[in-house]
Structure 1
Amino acid sequence: MKKYTEDDLKHFTVDGGGWLICPSGDYSQINGFGEQCSFGEWCSFGEQCSHEGLTNSRYVAVDRIGREQRKAYFFAADEGLFVRAGCFFGTADEFRKKVKETHKGTRYEREYLLALELAEIMLKEDED
């Protein structure tokens, strides 16, 4: 996973709304993102931004997905199926609920839900 520095932020793309597009990666080397920066209520760069603590974790990733065209990670572990997409990290059921709330009726809702369905098939333990 690429580690980004504060200098890297200067070269990231800014969308039409003035939002900085941050690709997936490790931001632990960055001390601050500026006073006006917000990552939303579900976002954390601490414990919830990794899959550490999951037992026997396997994953698949779907790239260029959703409104920000980022990579979504789907983890199968002894504890269940988990998803990391942007600032979100949680169970598959929590992800499904959040997607339906956030992207209801859009192509992004369909993209995320189909990616989750694909991940569930790919990470299924037993062969049919």
Structure 2
Amino acid sequence: RVCGDARVCGDARVCGDARVCGDADYTCVKGFGTEYRNTTFYRQKDGSIGVECGCFSGTIDEFREQVNETRDGKIAKEYLMIADLMEYHFQKRGRSGR
């Protein structure tokens, strides 16, 4: 579901249980991995984080599992760092707005 003032551009893909109601509900990272393709992270209806990366489609936890099973070295480390950043990015804001 894409609604409100949301914009989905470029190579971004939104699918599965995604619920994008504004620019803050998705983000894209490009230039990582073996193919340097787009990786899209998005908020799902249940509040969890979904990931689309090449032929991979799943949750952020499944993404980490996939990375650990299929990648090593610098590529794995970068993907896992990006997953950590996206998890932090999509946390609900506290009272302070941070």
Whether TM exceeds 0.5 here: the answer is yes
2:52 to 64, 70, 84: 84
The answer to whether 1:121 aligns with 2:88 is: yes
1:55–1:115 distance in 2 versus 1, CA, 3 Å: same
CA RMSD for the aligned pairs?
Answer: 2.1
What is the match of residue 66 of structure 2? 98
CA distance in 1, matches of 2:45, 2:92: 11
What is the match of residue 110 of structure 1? 77
Render the CA deviation track for 1:56-81: whole Å, top value 9, x for unaligned: 56111111011111111111123211
CA distance in 1, matches of 2:45, 2:93: 14
Render the CA deviation track for 1:70-104: whole Å, top value 9, x for unaligned: 11111112321111111111011111100000003
Q: Name stretches of at least 5 consecutive residues in structure 1 with no aligned partner.
A: 3-23, 26-48
Larger radius of gyration: 1
Identity within the alignment, %? 29
Which secondary structure state, in structure 2, belongs to the residue aligned with residue 110 of structure 1?
helix
1:70–1:56 distance in 2 versus 1, CA, 3 Å: closer
What is the match of residue 15 of structure 2? 51
- TM-score under structure 1 length normalisation: 0.56
Structure 1 moving runs of 4+ over 4 Å? none
**How many aligned residue pairs are there?**
83
CA distance in 1, matches of 2:18, 2:90: 15
Render the CA deviation track for 1:1-34: whole Å, top value 9, x for unaligned: 46xxxxxxxxxxxxxxxxxxxxx47xxxxxxxxx
Q: Name stretches of at least 5 consecutive residues in structure 2 with no aligned partner.
A: 1-8
